[in-house]
Chain A
């Protein structure tokens, strides 16, 4: 009885009255007949074309031919065909071209190919139409036989699963978002650290320069100026980069919410994989070399370089690409960042600590958000103020 409630039974006869089905079949048959006529016509063209090719080939074999020239519709008179290698070929649309026999044959062969293509397409459409006609015929026969159609609502088992998978999806998205936030925060933190490092190293390298240059005051002053310039430009470029990253961050957030395509998920998995890879690295394993300052300088410079390239890349790439490049950047610079974050003086601990915790403890959204909150603020004031500080120190 439940089955009766679920499904409906309609006779095929009411759905497709046999008369109508037969009419449809007849119409399709007519269409097929039309096509057949067309095909016959085209095949006639093909045979005409091939005989014309033969004629064009044989005509120039003799210097002149004796022919009967048609005169009107009723009479012929004898004549001679001369200039047997000169043809005036109708190209179509009233255009004629003077051609030799060989060239004419080429033209005719091209035309023959076009005709062949036409024949092929016609045959294909005829096959389609015949299938259609068969379908109509069988439908008409079935309807006449009194077949019934049983229609039942298809209650999918997996429908229950659909919301589950949906929530899973959303969960994954949630996971992805913190991942991104985290990544972003980490990048910001790293930028800040590197900046600080560079500033410190800049001062120390200045000292080094002073030592190496020794007495020459003029040169010393010059190098100092240069350094200052370089630093100011660097801080500018980093702030710029931050700004850009921030922008891209905003851009890249929206598509994640809107699009739940496979690509996004794939990117998400890539990101999370890399994050996972990072977490696997034991922090204590990091190799520390003795001359930290020089190393920092190198790292900082390399990062500023890479940062510039990043900014280029980022500005070019679209949202999803941007994310990917982010992860790449993170990946490439990660080992160095780890070194730095461990080597950093106690003053920066607030940042480094939180970052390392994130690495290990993954997706706490709140902390990620708080991190996010800190990072842009710091980015907004730090470069300028520190630069000022530097100036003040000098």
Chain B
């Protein structure tokens, strides 16, 4: 029983490390959610733009605001640009989904290990109090 206090200390240090890692992962997940929300909004806006662009006539003028100036753009070019942007955003969203899945898996495993550690500490302490 002489080794038990040292073991408990060791376990507690381990637990702290694990908990820190877990909170880090949770922060990452929150960040991921934020970014994803932004991208989703942009995707919606782009889709609106694309719809409107498709409704425009061939000879109507389209401008793009670049910094402080409006630059005239070809309608087809604008269309292609928006399409490309939608593609990019979709790809980005998919990527974010993948990373989110990854992070959640990690989070679950970390949670489990934390729980295990807590249980071990509990049992050790119970054994100590009995003896």
Contacts and interface: CB of A to CB of B under 8 A. Distances in A.
B38 interface: no
Contact of A94 (B53, B55, B60, B64): B64
Nearest to B62: A97
Contacts of A92: 45-46, 48-49, 52
B34 to A, nearest CB: 15
Interface string A105-125: 001001100100000000000
B61 A114 contact: no
A98 B52 contact: no
Q: Which interface class (under 10, 10 to 19, 20 to 34, 35 or more) fits B?
A: 20 to 34
A99 B73 CA distance: 15
Please classify the interface of chain A as helix (H, G, I), strand (E, B), loop, or mixed, using the class held by over half of its residues: strand
Contacts of B51: 110
A95 B53 contact: yes
Contacts of B65: 94-96
A88 interface: yes
Nearest to A111: B48
Interface in B48-107: 48-49, 51-53, 55-56, 60-66, 70, 73, 78, 82, 85
A188 to B, nearest CB: 53
Contacts of A98: 60-63
A156 interface: no
Given A91-B52, A93-B82, A93-B85, A99 B63 contact: no
A61 to B, nearest CB: 23
Given A91-B48, A92-B49, A114-B48, A97 B66 contact: no
Given A93-B45, A93-B82, A95-B82, A88 B52 contact: no
Contacts of B55: 107
A97 B60 CA distance: 7
Nearest to A100: B60
Nearest to B70: A96
B63 A95 contact: yes
A48 to B, nearest CB: 16
Contacts of A94: 64-66
Interface in A77-108: 88, 91-99, 107
B60 A95 contact: no
A370 B46 CA distance: 69
Contacts of B66: 94
Contacts of B48: 91-92, 111, 114
A107 B60 CA distance: 14
Given A92-B49, A94-B66, 20 more contacts: A88-B70, A91-B48, A91-B52, A91-B53, A92-B45, A93-B82, A94-B65, A95-B53, A95-B63, A95-B65, A95-B73, A95-B78, A96-B62, A96-B65, A97-B60, A97-B62, A97-B63, A98-B60, A110-B51, A111-B48
20 contacts: A88-B63, A91-B49, A91-B52, A93-B49, A93-B82, A93-B85, A94-B64, A94-B66, A95-B49, A95-B63, A96-B63, A96-B70, A97-B52, A97-B56, A97-B60, A97-B62, A97-B63, A98-B61, A107-B52, A110-B51
8 nearest A-B residue pairs (beta carbon): A94-B65, A96-B63, A98-B61, A92-B49, A92-B45, A91-B49, A91-B52, A97-B62
